[in-house]
Amino acid sequence: MITDKEFTLRLIRQLSQALEKLILDKPEESLMQKELDFDSLMRDIFKMSFTEISSKTKEEIIEIVNERQERDHKDYYEMLGNLFYYKGKAEANNDFLDKGKTFYELYLQTSGIFALPVINRISEIKKALE
């Protein structure tokens, strides 16, 4: 029997992978046909829409993540980094880009992984915010 936490973590990983493909401009056909519905995915993961989550401060979002199991934090931060990076670029929104940078940095800290694509995105965001 799949638990709610396992289901949510699977959604987070699937969303993160889908966003990664969008960021790299390599979306799969099924992804293009399905179109990501950020609001419904955010409701499934955080019990609020993307608009609600994006209106929160970085600190408030971090607090929401901290309420989850610590072992899952890296997955949340990677997904949030991808989400805010993608939305920030698509909408030319510096607040989203700044949030993306923060969540990518937290992802690197919590995962202990040396992820060059993430480091490159952080550098790209820093230049865009200057």
**pLDDT surpassing 80 at residue 103:** yes
**Cβ partners under 8 Å of residue 104, min gap 6:** 77, 78, 81, 85, 118, 121, 122, 125
Q: Which tens digit of pLDDT belongs to each residue from 1-45?
A: 456 777 787 888 777 777 777 777 765 555 444 456 677 788 888
Task: Please give the pLDDT value at position 40.
Answer: 79
The span from the CA of 30 to the CA of 73, in Å, is 28
For residues 87 and 19, the answer to whether their CB atoms sit within 8 Å is no
As a whole number, the mean pLDDT across the chain is 84
Long-range contact pairs involving 31-40 (C-beta distance under 8 Å, separation at least 24): 38/83, 38/87
Q: Which tens digit of pLDDT belongs to each residue from 52-70?
A: 999 999 999 999 999 988 8
Helix axes 58-66, 73-91, angle to 10 degrees: 150
Task: Please give the pLDDT value at position 67.
Answer: 92
Residue 27 backbone phi and psi in degrees, to 5: -70, 145
